[in-house]
Amino acid sequence: MIGFTSRTFAGAIARGETTLEELVAWAVDERFPWMEVRDVSLSLDDGALRKLISAAARGDMRLHYAWDGTNILDPADRRMFLQGVKNGAIFGPGTFVRLTIAGRVIRDNAAKVGYSTEELATLREQVQEYIRIAAEHRVLPVFENSHEPLTGSGKDAGIRELLDAIPSMNLTFDPGNAMDREHNRSFCSAADISRFYRDYRDRLPYVHIKMTKDNIVQPVFVEDGDIPPAFYREMIADGKLLCIELPEAPDLESCKRRVLAARHLLS
């Protein structure tokens, strides 16, 4: 099923062109089956989240929840996670809660390629604890690949090694993050993406989709990108939730047109 993230509309919301509640209503009118509410800094309170539920209920549209700024290696992150799963649980049992892992420690250190052995051990312990906590709230955590390599160097670990170390861990798979040379120093090829998907497809229930061409994220979806639309259609056939995530457009109407065009290309 194809949905989209409110993150694509962050600029339009900040400029006062729309609100999250109006965006949910638009998604219902456009017959999207689901939408990701990206609460970047966990700032939405209970009342605001319940208004979104009411807006979505007009069309029986499902809401999932996401936030940014995660660094699981930082002990202080636990407080953020507890708030995130509490918020996600308001959307009901089975809600996906998307969060990143600790990619910033790789992004911010030019000498790092992936996670060290010690960091991998800490992540294994913390992610397992996060999964346990999420289960108590009846939500489903999906940890997103960001600045990490898909596959480690042998000395340092990437996403593949993390999944192998934590069999209970599921991923928000973001091929664009893995392929974009401006985002990921260890950017990979479309063949790497295909291989990774086929190796771990049962653990990739939730997929963020951007379009890259020549390993650069594009503002719109195109037929001749690095990954052909047919690959994403295969994911839909596999029952994955595909979340359209595009760079911000200059205005609200442009954002809407781009999201609808992306859905059309993938359908």
**pLDDT at residue 235, rounded to an integer:** 96
pTM for this prediction? 0.96
- Count of domains observed in the chain: 1
Domain interval for residue 158: 2-266
- CB proximity list for 196: less than 8 A, separation 6 or greater: 150, 151, 159, 160, 173, 178
User: Over the chain (267 residues), what is each successive 10-residue block's mean pLDDT?
Assistant: 97 96 98 97 96 95 95 94 98 98 92 94 97 98 96 93 97 96 92 96 97 94 91 96 95 97 94
Dihedral sign (CA 56, 243, 39, 251): negative
CATH classification at residue 55: 3.20.20.150
Going by the DSSP 8-state scheme, the letter that residue 205 receives in this structure is: -
**pLDDT at residue 7, rounded to an integer:** 96
Q: Residue 31 — left, alpha, or beta (φ > 0 → left; ψ -120 to 50 → alpha)?
A: left
**pLDDT at residue 69, rounded to an integer:** 84
Q: What is the pLDDT of residues 128-149, one digit of tens each?
A: 999 999 999 999 999 999 999 9
77 φ/ψ angles, rounded to the nearest 5 degrees: -65, -25
